[in-house]
A and B are shown apart, each in its own frame.
Chain A
C-alpha cells in the first residue's frame, strides 16, 4: 500500500512502485530491486531492449499478414534509398521466387500494364531477376502487392550476385522436395502393388494405414508450392498454370483420405504421389536446363576461353579466367584470342581487332600498346598486363550492348498462354459435369484423370524451349537474335534489300584496267607513296614490282581532290574521276589512267544467286550509278535484280516505308532508318547504335552465315508448329480417354509428364537435326 506524501517511482522493468528510500537509479531509469536492474542490463547488452517498447503496446495483437503487409517494406523511405539504383534511385532489382514454369516469364512481360507508374521493366528468366524502373517510387509497394497476389514473392537485391545465392537455395529446396517425394512414392508403390495383386483382410488395412501416413508428407510438404500458388491466384482471381495441378492434387487427396477413413477402395495415394514427383522433377530438370543454357557465360561460350596463362613467381601457370584480376600478367600465345583488355609488356605481334572495331587490317602491337579482348593475336606470343577483369573487359561491355530481351513474347508464346488458360477452364467445367452426371465411384477416377491429363505443360514448355535452343545455336554461330519474333515474321518475307558497300562489297578495290603510257607508273607510285588515302595504299601495295621510287619535291595532298608534286622537274598531279578511276596528269596532259573496281566476295555472288531463286532481291546504295551497275553486271543472275543508286539515308527510309514483307541487310549508320521501317533487319555487326536498332546481328560482319540463318529460322518455325500440334493432339486424346474412363489416374499421372518429356526430347533431337554440314 502506498504511503501518502511520499514520492514513488515506477520500476523500468517490472512496473512496480518503489519508494524514495528503496529505489535504485541507473542511466536515469528507476528500478525497484537489483533483480530488475540485472534483467534490464542483460536485455540491454543483448540488444533486446525493444522488449520495453513492446511493453507499452499492451493488448496489441500481431498485424494480420496480408499481401500488402508482406511487401509493406517497399513503402519505407529507407528501403527505397538503400535499394534504389540509378541517378534517381528509382530502379529496383528483385529476385522472383515461385517461378515454376518457363511460361511464368510472360507475366512479367506484361507487368507494365498493371501499373502506369512502371516506366520500364525487364525480367531475366535465366536468373529470375526482375528489374523495375518506376516514375513514382511510392507506387512500388502497389506493384509488389499485385505480384505477391499473383503467387510470386519478391526478394530485393542490392547486386546480382545475391540472386545466384537465392537461386541455389531455391534449387536445394526443390531437390529436397523431389528426394522426399521419390523416397515416399517408391515405398507407396510397394504397398500399392501388393493391394493391386490381391492382398486382402487385415494385411490390406495395415498397408492402407502405411500408405495414408506416407502420403501425408507428400501432400503437406512436397505439394506446398503448387497449393500456395493456387491459393494466391485464387485470392487475386488471376489463374496460373498451377491451377489444374493443384485442383487434381487437392481433389484426389481429399477423396482418397475420405474413402480411406470410410474403408472404401477408392483412394489414389500412389497416382497422386507419382504425379507430384514427375511434375516436380520435370520442372526442376527444365528450369535447370533453361538456367544453364542461358546463364552459361556467353563470353566463354563464344570462344571457349576457360583457362589463361598467368604469371606466378616468374613462371606461367594455367588459371581459370575468373581468377585473373586487374594488374595480373598473362601470356597470350600466337593464334589465340586475347581474353582480357590489357597493355603489352613484352613481345610484338599483329592483332586482328575486327570483331570489336570492324577494322579488318591487322594492327601491329608492341610494348605499351593497348590490346582489347576479343581480338586475335596473329603472329607472336604476347605478355600483357591486364587492365580490366572478366566483368569489366571491353568484350563483356560489348556483349551487354547486344543483350537479348528474353522477356519479349511472340504471338506463338502468347497463344500458348491463352490456350493453357482456356484449356484449364474447359477441363474444370467438364469435371463438374462428370461429377454431376456419373455416380461417385465412376466420376472420381475420370475427373482425376482429366485434371491430371489436361495440364498444359507440354505447350507451356515446348515453345520457349525450342526458341531457346535455336537462339543458342545461332549465337554459337555468331548470330544474335535480338527480337524473338524473327522466326514468326520470317516465313512472310518476300523481298530482301541489301545495302551495297560493306554488305555485298568489302569496300576494297581491284585494278580493272590500265590506260595510257605505263612508263609513268613509277611516277604515279612515287607520288602515291607519300599519301595515306586507301586508294593510294592499295596502289602502292598492288605495284610491289615498282621499287625504284623517284624523288618527289613540293609534295602536296589536297583533301578530297588528290595529290601533286614535282618529279624530275615536271609537275605531276593525281586525281580521281567520278567512276572511281584515277588519272595521272603531267602538267595539263593526262598520261595515265587506272580504272578501279570494287571487290566483291565470290561467296556473296553465289549467295545472291541462290537467294534470287526464292526471294526478290533489291540493292540499295548510296554509291553512284556506275558502281552499282558494275555490281549488277558482276552478279549475272537469271532473275532480275532491282537496284537503286545515290540514295541518301532519308531516301532509303522513305522507300522502305512503302515496302511490305521486307528484310533489310545493312552495315552502317546510314541504314538505321531503313532497318527501322523494314519488317525484319539484319546488322552486319555495325556498332552499338546499328545493332540496337535491328532484329538480328551477324557478329562476323559478313554474309557468310545468311543461308544458315534462313535455314535455321525456318526450321525453328516448323519445330514450334510441330510442338503446338502435338500438344493439342495430346490434350484432345487425353480428354476423350479420361471422359470415357479408358485411362486410370495412375496412367494419366505417367502420361502427363511423359508428354512434356516427349516435347523436350523432340525439341532437342530436331534442333540437332537442323544442323548444317560444315
Chain B
C-alpha cells in the first residue's frame, strides 16, 4: 500500500510531463512536416567554419 502513495502521484506526474512535452513539441512545429524532412537538404546552405559544420537556413 505504501508503494502506491509514491507510484500513483509519480504516474500522474509522468502523464503531465508527457503531455506537456508533447504539447511543446507540437507547438514548436517539430511534427509539422515529417514527410518533407528528407528534402530539407536542398534548402540549406552548409558553411564550413574552422572544421565545424555550420548549417544555415537559406530563407
Task: Point out which of B8, B15, B18 has the most chain A C-beta atoms below 10 A from its C-beta.
Answer: B15
> What are the residues of chain A within 8 A of B47 when measuring CB–CB?
none
Asked if B23 lies at the interface with its beta carbon under 8 angstroms from chain A, I say: yes
> What are the residues of chain A within 8 A of B12 when measuring CB–CB?
187, 210
> What are the residues of chain A within 8 A of B39 when measuring CB–CB?
306, 320
Asked if A546 lies at the interface with its beta carbon under 8 angstroms from chain B, I say: no
B4 close to A171 (CB less than 8 A):
no
A320 close to B42 (CB less than 8 A):
yes
How many of chain A's residues touch chain B, expressed as a range? 20 to 34
> What are the residues of chain B within 8 A of A292 when measuring CB–CB?
35
- Contacting residues of chain B (1-48) with chain A, CB-CB under 8 angstroms: 1, 4, 8, 11-12, 15, 18-19, 22-23, 26-27, 29, 31-32, 35, 39, 42-43
Of A183, A318, A319, A323, which one neighbours B15 at CB under 8 angstroms?
A: A183
> What are the residues of chain B within 8 A of A187 when measuring CB–CB?
11-12, 15
Asked if A172 lies at the interface with its beta carbon under 8 angstroms from chain B, I say: yes
Whether A306 touches B42, Cβ cut-off 8 Å, given contacts A172-B32, A176-B23, A187-B12, is: yes
Of A171, A179, A323, which one neighbours B58 at CB under 8 angstroms?
A: A323
Please report the C-alpha to C-alpha distance between residue A186 and residue B35 in the assembled complex, in whole angstroms. 27
A307 close to B15 (CB less than 8 A):
no
B32 close to A320 (CB less than 8 A):
no
A179 close to B26 (CB less than 8 A):
yes
Determine the main DSSP class of A at the interface with B.
helix
> What are the residues of chain A within 8 A of B35 when measuring CB–CB?
292
The chain A residue with its CB closest to the CB of B38 is A306
B8 close to A323 (CB less than 8 A):
no
Of A172, A179, A203, A307, which one neighbours B42 at CB under 8 angstroms?
A: A307
Please report the C-alpha to C-alpha distance between residue A530 and residue B22 in the assembled complex, in whole angstroms. 77
Asked if A611 lies at the interface with its beta carbon under 8 angstroms from chain B, I say: no
Asked if A432 lies at the interface with its beta carbon under 8 angstroms from chain B, I say: no
Please report the C-alpha to C-alpha distance between residue A203 and residue B39 in the assembled complex, in whole angstroms. 54
> What are the residues of chain A within 8 A of B23 when measuring CB–CB?
176, 179-180
Asked if A669 lies at the interface with its beta carbon under 8 angstroms from chain B, I say: no
Of A175, A186, A306, A320, which one neighbours B31 at CB under 8 angstroms?
A: A175
B18 close to A168 (CB less than 8 A):
no
Determine the main DSSP class of B at the interface with A.
helix
B42 close to A319 (CB less than 8 A):
yes
The chain B residue with its CB closest to the CB of A174 is B26
Asked if A550 lies at the interface with its beta carbon under 8 angstroms from chain B, I say: no
A323 close to B42 (CB less than 8 A):
yes
Please report the C-alpha to C-alpha distance between residue A189 and residue B4 in the assembled complex, in whole angstroms. 16
> What are the residues of chain B within 8 A of A190 when measuring CB–CB?
11
A175 close to B15 (CB less than 8 A):
no
- Contacting residues of chain A (386-418) with chain B, CB-CB under 8 angstroms: none
B32 close to A171 (CB less than 8 A):
yes
> What are the residues of chain B within 8 A of A168 when measuring CB–CB?
32
Asked if A140 lies at the interface with its beta carbon under 8 angstroms from chain B, I say: no
- Contacting residues of chain A (203-225) with chain B, CB-CB under 8 angstroms: 203, 210
Please report the C-alpha to C-alpha distance between residue A180 and residue B4 in the assembled complex, in whole angstroms. 24
- Interface code A157-196, partner B: CB below 8 Å = 1, 0 otherwise? 0000000000010011001100110011011001000000
Please report the C-alpha to C-alpha distance between residue A393 and residue B26 in the assembled complex, in whole angstroms. 35
The chain B residue with its CB closest to the CB of A306 is B39
Distance from A590 Cβ to chain B, minimum over Cβ atoms (Å): 67
Whether A179 touches B43, Cβ cut-off 8 Å, given contacts A187-B11, A187-B15, is: no
Number of interface residues of B (CB under 8 A): 20
Please report the C-alpha to C-alpha distance between residue A319 and residue B15 in the assembled complex, in whole angstroms. 43
> What are the residues of chain A within 8 A of B42 when measuring CB–CB?
306-307, 318-320, 323
Whether A176 touches B22, Cβ cut-off 8 Å, given contacts A187-B15, A292-B35, A320-B43, is: yes
> What are the residues of chain A within 8 A of B18 when measuring CB–CB?
179, 183
> What are the residues of chain B within 8 A of A323 when measuring CB–CB?
42-43, 58
Whether A172 touches B27, Cβ cut-off 8 Å, given contacts A187-B15, A307-B42, is: yes
Please report the C-alpha to C-alpha distance between residue A292 and residue B12 in the assembled complex, in whole angstroms. 36
- Contacting residues of chain A (545-603) with chain B, CB-CB under 8 angstroms: none
Please report the C-alpha to C-alpha distance between residue A320 and residue B37 in the assembled complex, in whole angstroms. 13
Please report the C-alpha to C-alpha distance between residue A176 and residue B19 in the assembled complex, in whole angstroms. 8
Please report the C-alpha to C-alpha distance between residue A186 and residue B58 in the assembled complex, in whole angstroms. 42
A183 close to B22 (CB less than 8 A):
yes
Please report the C-alpha to C-alpha distance between residue A210 and residue B9 in the assembled complex, in whole angstroms. 10
Please report the C-alpha to C-alpha distance between residue A179 and residue B26 in the assembled complex, in whole angstroms. 9
Distance from B19 Cβ to chain A, minimum over Cβ atoms (Å): 4
- Contacting residues of chain A (526-550) with chain B, CB-CB under 8 angstroms: none
Distance from B49 Cβ to chain A, minimum over Cβ atoms (Å): 18
Please report the C-alpha to C-alpha distance between residue A172 and residue B43 in the assembled complex, in whole angstroms. 24
Please report the C-alpha to C-alpha distance between residue A193 and residue B23 in the assembled complex, in whole angstroms. 27
Of A172, A183, A186, A306, which one neighbours B26 at CB under 8 angstroms?
A: A172
> What are the residues of chain A within 8 A of B29 when measuring CB–CB?
172
> What are the residues of chain A within 8 A of B11 when measuring CB–CB?
187, 190
Please report the C-alpha to C-alpha distance between residue A176 and residue B20 in the assembled complex, in whole angstroms. 10
The chain B residue with its CB closest to the CB of A194 is B4
Please report the C-alpha to C-alpha distance between residue A680 and residue B52 in the assembled complex, in whole angstroms. 62
Please report the C-alpha to C-alpha distance between residue A104 and residue B43 in the assembled complex, in whole angstroms. 36
Please report the C-alpha to C-alpha distance between residue A306 and residue B22 in the assembled complex, in whole angstroms. 32
Distance from B44 Cβ to chain A, minimum over Cβ atoms (Å): 10
> What are the residues of chain A within 8 A of B32 when measuring CB–CB?
168, 171-172
B58 close to A175 (CB less than 8 A):
no
The chain B residue with its CB closest to the CB of A185 is B15
A175 close to B19 (CB less than 8 A):
no
The chain B residue with its CB closest to the CB of A206 is B8
Distance from A174 Cβ to chain B, minimum over Cβ atoms (Å): 9
B15 close to A186 (CB less than 8 A):
yes
Please report the C-alpha to C-alpha distance between residue A190 and residue B19 in the assembled complex, in whole angstroms. 17
B15 close to A176 (CB less than 8 A):
no
> What are the residues of chain B within 8 A of A306 when measuring CB–CB?
39, 42
A210 close to B8 (CB less than 8 A):
yes
Distance from B18 Cβ to chain A, minimum over Cβ atoms (Å): 5
Distance from A389 Cβ to chain B, minimum over Cβ atoms (Å): 15
> What are the residues of chain A within 8 A of B27 when measuring CB–CB?
172, 176
Please report the C-alpha to C-alpha distance between residue A306 and residue B43 in the assembled complex, in whole angstroms. 11
> What are the residues of chain B within 8 A of A307 when measuring CB–CB?
42
Please report the C-alpha to C-alpha distance between residue A320 and residue B18 in the assembled complex, in whole angstroms. 36
> What are the residues of chain B within 8 A of A171 when measuring CB–CB?
32
Distance from B41 Cβ to chain A, minimum over Cβ atoms (Å): 9
Task: Point out which of B8, B32, B43 has the most chain A C-beta atoms below 10 A from its C-beta.
Answer: B8
> What are the residues of chain B within 8 A of A176 when measuring CB–CB?
22-23, 26-27
Please report the C-alpha to C-alpha distance between residue A773 and residue B13 in the assembled complex, in whole angstroms. 55
Please report the C-alpha to C-alpha distance between residue A315 and residue B46 in the assembled complex, in whole angstroms. 16
Please report the C-alpha to C-alpha distance between residue A187 and residue B8 in the assembled complex, in whole angstroms. 10
Of B1, B4, B22, which one neighbours A179 at CB under 8 angstroms?
A: B22
- Interface code A307-349, partner B: CB below 8 Å = 1, 0 otherwise? 1000000000011100100000000000000000000000000
| Contact sample, A vs B, 25 pairs, CB 8 Å cutoff | A168-B32, A172-B29, A175-B31, A176-B22, A176-B23, A179-B22, A179-B23, A180-B19, A180-B22, A183-B15, A183-B19, A187-B11, A187-B12, A187-B15, A190-B11, A203-B1, A203-B4, A210-B8, A210-B12, A292-B35, A306-B42, A320-B39, A320-B42, A320-B43, A323-B43
Q: Other than the known A179-B18, A323-B43, what 4 A-B pairs have Cβ atoms closer than 8 Å? A: A172-B26, A176-B27, A179-B19, A210-B8
The 4 closest A-B pairs by CB, nearest first: A320-B42, A179-B22, A183-B19, A175-B26
